[in-house]
A and B are shown apart, each in its own frame.
Chain A
Amino acid sequence: DTEVTQTPKHLVMGMTNKKSLKCEQHMGHRAMYWYKQKAKKPPELMFVYSYEKLSINESVPSRFSPECPNSSLLNLHLHALQPEDSALYLCASSQAGVPDTQYFGPGTRLTVL
């Protein structure tokens, strides 16, 4: 199984809402990533978890809060977002400790009103 799943596919939220994005993989990968992608732009790295511990936070605003409950799951908790946070949020996973390709999920398209 080389699939990374993400839910929901689409999310519309107001600036005062709290919501969560979910990501799951069963490839035994111990590195998991959150990226943000604006239209016609490359993905921008937000967070990296390695062996369930946060290893990279690319100066992301605190209104985004990642969580890695176990080796297969990755969440991104959203609170008090701004309209400019509207984007495609991509989850990815890869082998840990070795240079390896990332497997991307289908993404969650987020719209903040």
Chain B
Amino acid sequence: ELKVEQNPLFLSMQEGKNYTIYCNYSTTSDRLYWYRQDPGKSLESLFVLLSNGAVKQEGRLMASLDTKARLSTLHITAAVHDLSATYFCAVDRGSGTYKYIFGTGTRLKVLA
């Protein structure tokens, strides 16, 4: 059974600080996705990582993928309050299965 775990589950950080969210998955997959969800809202796509060593950056967020370690990271640089949200990683089983499994989620709170 494919399991996707994130840590930490909850993160409270000061504005201006850096931090990393980790996403581990249990079986082989070459594709990993990061989403953001604001309270009471839907999910917004952040990054799609399609191969080992893939790195993508948008603003203060940078995501990377290590398929050999079955690990993805979401690095936050100089956090601002607007980044407060829940962040989910998701993995699909591949081979066109459309079976996306979401991680446990990391609730990020950036304090002013």
Contact = CB atoms under 8 A, between A and B. Distances in A.
Contacts of B48: 99-101
Interface string B93-108: 0101111111111010
Contact of B45 (A42, A43, A102): A102
Interface residues on A, range: 20 to 34
B68 interface: no
Interface of A: 31, 33, 40-45, 48, 50, 55-56, 90, 92, 94, 96-97, 99-107
17 contacts: A31-B98, A40-B105, A40-B107, A43-B43, A43-B88, A48-B98, A50-B98, A90-B42, A90-B43, A94-B98, A96-B98, A99-B92, A99-B94, A101-B33, A102-B45, A104-B35, A105-B42
Interface of B: 30-31, 33, 35, 41-45, 48, 50, 88, 92, 94, 96-105, 107
